[in-house]
Amino acid sequence: MRLILIGPPGAGKGTQAAFLVERFGLVTVATGDILRAARQAGTPLGLQAKEYMDRGALVPDEVVIGLVRERLSQPDTVNFLLDGFPRTVPQAEALDGLLAELGRPLDAAVLLEVPEELLIDRLTGRYTCRSCGAVYHLKDHPPLRPGVCDRCGGELYQRSDDSPETVQRRLRVYREETAPLVDYYRRRGILRTVDGTGTVAEVTDRILAVLGAAPR
Ligand code: AP5
């Protein structure tokens, strides 16, 4: 299965991706995670990306398309889930071209819909594990011990782009640059829209239903 997850910042793409990759045996390609790892490692790509990410802006298309092209061209990505890519129409067009070359068409584009007030609450309360990337929320999904990951014992941190001002900017960028992808995939007949409110398990069940998969 080849899926993309679309949705505004905080819609729950990373949270649901963790379940879906296990369930369907997919490889995740999350451009935000790749860029954050490059930042942490201090590579030239990471230094370039930092400037955009800290402002809540998108990293230039050619940089991100190059990253995804390299990853999807490897033999282990026959079945994949793309989280955070594509995010602009040029990225979606580049992805179509690449997948046509590889003979690996998309099965579905799953759109998670969540109202803005809830997105702001989710993002400003989010904590992420520095070691394994597990995601928590201060109120809705707190770790057992404050600041410590339940899964691996790693340190939890708050993303630099989750400050209230940067979240507002990211939401605006989503409306202007990413939302047009909804029509793009609707026209291709592969858009599956899911209500992203409610518990994590409820959202997972809705995604499985639109994919025509057996329930959990
Ligand atoms: P990226 O890392 O992709 O961030 P994003 O799309 O803004 O999405 P988030 O990771 O913030 O949210 P999410 O939808 O994954 O939500 P999550 O599951 O964590 O991108 C970051 C930056 O990198 C961009 O701004 C850009 O600069 C750059 N970038 C990345 N890709 C790019 C591209 N293709 N082109 C150009 N630039 C790119 O959940 C959020 C919180 O909500 C968590 O605390 C979670 O526990 C909680 N939560 C989730 N679901 C529920 C639920 N059902 N109920 C209650 N709480 C929930």
SS3 27: strand
SS3 155: strand
Ligand 1: which residues within 6 Å by Cβ?
7, 9-15, 31-32, 35, 52-53, 56-59, 64, 84-85, 87, 91, 122-123, 126, 135-137, 140-141, 161, 170, 198-200, 203
Name the catalytic one among 39, 122, 126, 206: 126
Distance CA 65, CA 76 (A): 18
Element (H, E) at 112: strand 108-113
Q: Is the pLDDT of residue 207 over 90?
A: yes
Task: Give 163's pLDDT tier (boundaries 50, 70, 90).
Answer: very high
* Region 187-202 average pLDDT: 97
Strand 27-30 versus strand 156-157 pairing type: unpaired
pLDDT per residue as tens digits for the range 60-85: 999 999 999 999 999 999 999 999 99
- What backbone torsions phi and psi does residue 205 show, to the nearest 5 degrees? -60, -40
Q: Is the pLDDT of residue 140 over 90?
A: no
Query: 199: number of CA atoms within 13 Å, CB side?
Result: 4
Q: What is the pTM of this model?
A: 0.95
Strand 80-83 versus strand 27-30 pairing type: parallel
- What backbone torsions phi and psi does residue 194 show, to the nearest 5 degrees? -130, 135
- Nearest-atom index, ligand 1, CA of 83: 3
Residue type, 79: N
* Region 24-28 average pLDDT: 97
